[in-house]
Amino acid sequence: MTAPLDVDSASMQAGPEEVLEGIGGKKIQGRSLSQIAWMRLKRDRVAIASGIVIVIILLLAIFGKYVAQLEGKGWTYKEADSGSLNPNNFYFPKGALGGVSSQHWFGVEPQQGRDMFARVMYGLRISMIVSLSSTFLTTLIGVVMGVVAGYFGRTVDNLISRFMDLLLAFPQLLFLMALTPVVYDRLTHAGLPASNTTRITMLIIIISFFGWPYIGRIVRGQTLSLREREFVDAARALGAKPSHILFRQILPNLWAPILVYATLIIPTYIALEAALSFLGVGILPPTPSMGNILSGAATFFATDPAYLFIPGCFLIIVVLVFNLFGDGLRDALDPRSNR
């Protein structure tokens, strides 16, 4: 005869959570997908460290002017310190590493004497404005066009897809170089002032125009799969309108790939803005940007390598941490990843 189980009456009368707490020592709680992704992301030390550096970079881009005021005399990117140049050496910076000192943390610009830390901070602000604004506009256009093409299909899909294929066929950098002066002239003729603010607007427009098809194709492919799912069929059966299905049923299930792509495209646009300014079709001197700083530094590389090395390393760090954080975010949001 089987002996009776040794279970007290309190456990028999308790609810499921109390029984599990009495046996296992803790309650079982359900977690949302966002909570699971955050737990996976926290375990990736490289991604967390990169995220901290990104926050610091964004703070420097916003408050870099005030940080520069902590440096020596509080230099701006326009002011020149003639005392930091050596007139007996073709007005190159005094001291080692391009004039790095407590007064000039990143040294000074050869033959000009302008503080490099203040110029890099201002250039970082412009790079962040261009890259973040272009990423937002690219993502917005690409998501809307991709969702519409994937959901409606047929003629709408063919028109949007062929237009995306056409834009993807262009060599992006060459067309950006060719179209930048044209768009700038059109904007100035439309009434915008001939300034670097207009140039920033021009870069955002052109980069976004050629960039949205990449995320558009990703969103279209995901939408083609989601529109055949049961919850979409149920919404149709209940009489939901296409706008409700698109933006309340399908789009919330696309936030993971959209977020990952947006994170990974930011460093690409930072490098692209720097490349355009380096080639002379982006932000023009004396307003500093990461690209025209490196372009000017290339002239003095043989005699003052620190002038190229310090801002170049800073740009590499900025691009690298965004890429590392994007990789970590992708792994955290991918349930098939074992990283």
**Structure confidence by residue, pLDDT tens digits, 22-58:** 455 556 566 766 777 788 888 889 999 999 999 999 9
pLDDT tens sequence across 261-310: 888 899 999 989 888 888 888 888 888 888 888 888 888 887 888 888 88
Residue carrying the six token digits 């028109």: 159
Q: How confident is the model at residue 83 (pLDDT cuts 50, 70, 90)?
A: confident
pLDDT band at 136 (very low <50, low <70, confident <90, very high): very high
Which residues are bridge partners to 93 per DSSP? 85
Predicted confidence at residue 98, as pLDDT, reads 76
pLDDT of residue 171 exceeding 60: yes
Residue ranges with strand state E in the chain: 85-86, 92-93
298 by DSSP, 3-state: which?
helix
**pLDDT the model gives residue 26:** 58
Is residue 322 within 8 A of residue 263, CB to CB? The reply is: yes
Phi, psi of 269 (to 5 degrees): -75, -30
pLDDT band for position 10 (cuts 50, 70, 90): very low
> 305-310: which pairs have CB atoms within 8 A and are 24 or more residues apart?
306/97, 306/98, 306/100, 306/107, 307/98, 307/107, 307/109, 307/110, 307/116, 310/97, 310/98, 310/100, 310/106, 310/107, 310/116, 310/120
Give 92's strand partners: 86
Q: Is the pLDDT of residue 160 over 50?
A: yes
Mind giving me the DSSP string for 129-190?
HHHHHHHHHHHHHHHHHHHHHHHH-HHHHHHHHHHHHHHHHS-HHHHHHHHHHHHHHHHHHT
| % of the chain residues with pLDDT over 90 | 24
3-state class (DSSP) for residue 230 = helix
Q: Determine the 3-state secondary structure of 92 from DSSP.
A: strand
C-alpha 311/C-alpha 289 separation (Å) is 10
What are the boundaries of each domain within the chain? 130-286
Do residues 295 and 17 touch, judged by C-beta distance below 8 A?
no
Q: 130-286 domain in CATH 1.10.3720.10?
A: yes
Instruction: List, for residues 205-248, the tens digit of each pLDDT value.
Output: 989 988 999 999 999 999 988 888 888 888 888 888 888 888 88
Residue 107 clears pLDDT 90, i.e. is over it: no
- Tens of pLDDT, residues 183-200: 888 888 888 887 888 888
Q: How far apart are CA 177 and CA 200, in angstroms?
A: 14
According to DSSP, the residues that pair with 108 across neighbouring strands are: 115
Integer angstrom CA distances of residue 223 from 33, 53, 62, 249, 253: 19, 34, 37, 11, 9
pLDDT of residue 287: 85
> Are 47 and 325 spatial neighbours (Cβ–Cβ below 8 Å)?
yes
